[in-house]
Structure 1
Amino acid sequence: MTSTFPDQDAYYILSFDSSDGPFSDLSLGSKTNDPSPLEIKDINSVSTENWHIFFDHGVYFLRNYEYSTGWILGLEDKDEATPRMLRMPESAVPLGMQWNLTRWEDGNTWKLTNRLLGEDRWLGVVNDKEPSMMVSIEGSHWTVMRNRGAPQVDSKLKVSFSSIESPPQITKHPSPSNTGAASSNSPDCPASSPTISAGAIAGITVGGIALLALVQLAIFCLFKRRRSQYNSQKTLLPEYPATVQHRRQHDSQQIPLSEYPAAVQRVSDFPPQRKDQIELHQGDHQRAELSG
């Protein structure tokens, strides 16, 4: 599988877009038996600045003009921060040797991410001289230029890889309660709405009846308590004095003179000139009672 970019028949220069401009590029220094560490060199200063960018299996692979198919740019698990040239494996190409190239928002420069680390770290340059995987956007903008003066690309560099390692797939297992049900992530799916079982409805009904009974009992106890307090605080009627007899007693017998109020005087208390008159009246009164 090929893409219009990059051109499989071309070598490219990866120029570091520094604050002073794109005047330095990614290289391996002078050629040696085994590749040297990555470094930033002036443009057109060494042959190791030429890179073949090969697109295969949906990702990119970076190999150098001087080291052809034997070495490839990548990351190791033991040192994920430092990109270096690694020997090509005989089996599937690991994630650390797979790259993604996408444009930054400016539309002109490129960012390089490694599939071993994901999309939140970029190939960049520390202090304008040390290539490294960075979390900072600053220093990670690259200008990719085709070197039209480079030699012809070796045909071996254009052969597709037999297999590459794929990133682990995160499988979401549904919980037992959701088995056979529609996905709860869909807000438009009414089938995922929770339902109330018949047992739950019965329990709610019984609970409501019990609560109503408790409320009625509380009201009854409160009313009874207030009634008891009212009876205990109620003012008692004053008792009649012993000298005041019940009406029925008045009707059935004569009230002794001794029980009349002090305002009614006895006969012996009146002056002598009126005793006869009072006794006469008393006698008339007694005769009237006898005749009656």
Structure 2
Amino acid sequence: MDDLGDLGGALRRWRDRLSPLDVGLPVRAGRRAAGLRREELADLAGLSVDYVVRLEQGRAEHPSAQVVAALARALQLSTDESDHAFRLAGLLPPADGTVSRHVPPGVQRILSRLQEFPVGVFDAAWTLLHWTPSWEALIGDPTTLPPEDRNLARALFGGTGLARHPVRHADPGMPAAIVADLRAALADHPRDRPLAGLVADLRRDSPEFSRLWDVGAVGRHVSARKTIEHPDVGDVTCDCDVLTVPGSDVRLVVYSAATGSVDAEKLEFLRVTRGQRAASTPTPATAPPATS
């Protein structure tokens, strides 16, 4: 069977064409694999190595849409390739009228070169899709949260705590901007059930969200200062910028600090020490999300 005629063969071929440099990993002397190793793909997708092996060998035949989407992001697939991966898994690709969780390959290549910055990639519903190691070092590990709670609107209005470390905001217009974003997303993606459910939940559970929604709140994102209360280095105050990607639903949230400042030194310390811990500590195997 052709390499792209089954999911396992397609995953192997897509994995082989990626260089470690494409995903922000160093290329060490003596490396024999031209592309990504299974272990590297598993880590990028948040899956166990054993599950990736079983997928490539055709022994895990019914991966969930969540698994396929995670692999598509990790492998930097184009939209057409991502749709093909869904079909190979026996799933329908995301339909028109739904929020795209696809992160364009160009955005992923940019992220691989922005490892020193804490950067989170969000979809139109403000669900976190992807993040740099520096984001995890500053904000906390998002994988400790269930996927449905990795949402900025739920964190802001529902107190679910997307940031694992407390964040003090200095942007009073942020709540209105998030509500305006969700209203626009619902208009653009009327068939997206998770988005509609998110809005319904927040209108029911958050008086502030419900008020802003009912008055048709309008807001826009501006550069703002935020202070993260980090357990290892104390308060870290950063500039926070929201960058949009033309032609895509995704937006990037970038934290930075002035070069030479105490806060920049703290960010660099967190980045370096997190890398040292990752190199010295085996990555725990995570169970794959429920398959369908």
Coarse TM-score class (shorter-chain normalised): under 0.3
> Going by fraction, where is strand more abundant, 1 or 2?
1
Query: Which structure exhibits the higher relative contact order, with contacts defined as CA atoms closer than 8 Å and separated by 6 or more residues?
Result: 2
> Going by fraction, where is helix more abundant, 1 or 2?
2
TM-score, with structure 2 as normaliser: 0.18
Q: Which has the larger radius of gyration?
A: 1
